[in-house]
Amino acid sequence: MEHDLRLTVFWALHLTMLGLFVLEIAFILSVWLKARVPGLPGDASRWRKLGATISYALRLIFSRRIWVLLKALVVDGMVHRRLYQKDMRRWLVHISVFGSWLALGVISTVTGVIVEVLPLLGMSPEAAASIPLLGHLFHADVWWVALVNEILGLIVMAGMLMVVYRRYIQKDPQLRTIPADTITIALLTIIAFSGFPAEVFRLLSDYTTAAGAFSPDPTMISPERLPPVLYGVWAPQWGFAGYLSARVLGLLRLSPGAWEAIYNVFFWFHFVIVTALLYYLPFSRFAHVIMSPVIVAYNTMREQERHGEHIAGDRGIPQVAG
């Protein structure tokens, strides 16, 4: 499947899947709203509970408390300061998996905006790629983009190996693993390890000559995919592990069409597994990975506020509501 057609099909399916995922989240939210909401009677409607929740969130966002919440979100919700102080090894596993996935997700999102959204708004590929720094994300073979993706990908793979080791080999007594957890861990591990060969075969597909030689050159990529403005920062070898693997496999001297076919298999396999995880995660115990940073940040903010109120009360300082 040619590049443009593949991306067209990918984005059509991706946006459809995201729309269905929003419906899934709406269903889960409707279940959560069966619970009691502070300040409302127990028999209040779900719409009323949702309105009260949104109202509270907006008041929090536009108050001075938001800075305390954001600090807690980073320090306690994402970096997990308390886990770091308690158990360095567990913290390393957490940060290597959660931190790397988060960083890769952010990079992927920004890349999608640069590559897909801006051209739809009328910006040419050359103009999008010319945006200072962020424009470099237009192509994965810009040197620092290749390097960052490579390092984060390797960290994710190492982190997933540690997760598997702790749960299934060492069998850490602190971790209770049920069959549903195994499904989530299996999907995450497959995603982490399938992304690497997909990138290797992408390099082979893009940079193999008609004679079957792997001989990378920026002019081998169409200007729509790799605008000439990026030639000066083009350097796929910075994705060192994938590039070395492509060099070794290139000795097979297969045709560009053969590498393209293999790449398509891994590309769509990776997409299907990511989609499966996306739909399964909200119903698994690993949903706390998504929600816990916000919950931890909110609880930390409330603890700090209660501590401040206690100190102020001891000093006889009057309190003013948030």
What distance in Å separates the CA atoms of residue 275 and residue 269, rounded to the nearest whole number? 10
What is the average per-residue pLDDT within 271-294? 76
Decide if 29 is inside a domain.
Answer: no
Assign 205 to helix, strand or coil: helix
Decide if 2 is inside a domain.
Answer: no
CB 240 within 8 A of CB 143: no
Decide if 267 is inside a domain.
Answer: yes
For the segment 223-249, what is each residue's pLDDT rounded down to a tens digit?
Answer: 989 999 999 999 999 999 999 999 999
State how many domains the chain has: 1
Assign 257 to helix, strand or coil: helix
Burial 132-157 (b: 16+ CB within 10 A, else e): eeebbbbbbbbbebbebbbbbbbbbb
Decide if 96 is inside a domain.
Answer: yes
Confidence band of 290 (pLDDT split at 50, 70, 90):
low
Please measure the distance between the N-terminal and C-terminal CA atoms of the chain and give it in whole angstroms: 57
The range of the structural domain enclosing residue 217 comes to 80-303
Decide if 132 is inside a domain.
Answer: yes
Per-residue pLDDT at 94 exceeds 90:
no
For the segment 7-39, what is each residue's pLDDT rounded down to a tens digit?
Answer: 667 667 766 777 777 777 777 777 777 777 777
Decide if 319 is inside a domain.
Answer: no
Decide if 88 is inside a domain.
Answer: yes
Burial 213-228 (b: 16+ CB within 10 A, else e): ebebebeebeeeebbe
Per-residue pLDDT at 313 exceeds 60:
no
Decide if 44 is inside a domain.
Answer: no
